[in-house]
Amino acid sequence: MHELEKLSVTVLAEDSVLYESPFLGQHGISFFVEAYGIEKKNILIDVGQNLQALIYNMELMGISPKDIDAIILTHCHYDHTRGIVEMIKLIGKEEIPIIAHPDIFRLNFITNPFLRHVGTLRADSKKKIEESGGTLYLTKDPLEIMPGITTTGEVERQTDFEEIGISLKSITNEGKVIKDEMEDDISFIGKIKGKGIVIISGCSHAGIVNIAKQAIKISKENKIEAIIGGFHLIDASIERIVKTVKALAELDIALVSAGHCTGFKAQLEFYNIFKERFVPLHTGLRFEF
CA–CA separation, 125 vs 104, rounded Å? 10
CB crowding 220-243: b at 16 or more within 10 Å, else e: ebebbbbbbbbbbbbebeeebbbb
Kind and range of the H or E run holding 177: strand 177-179
- Confidence (pLDDT) at 273: 98
- Would you say the pTM of this structure is higher than 0.95? yes
CA–CA separation, 2 vs 148, rounded Å? 5
Peptide bond into 113 cis (omega under 30): yes
- Confidence (pLDDT) at 1: 87
CATH of 6-155+163-288, one of 3.30.70.1890, 3.40.50.300, 3.30.365.10, 3.60.15.10: 3.60.15.10
| Domain residue extents for the chain | 6-155+163-288
Handedness of CA 103, 104, 107, 111 (dihedral sign): positive
**Regions of the chain where pLDDT drops below 70:** none
pLDDT tens profile 120-154: 999 999 999 999 999 999 999 999 999 999 999 99
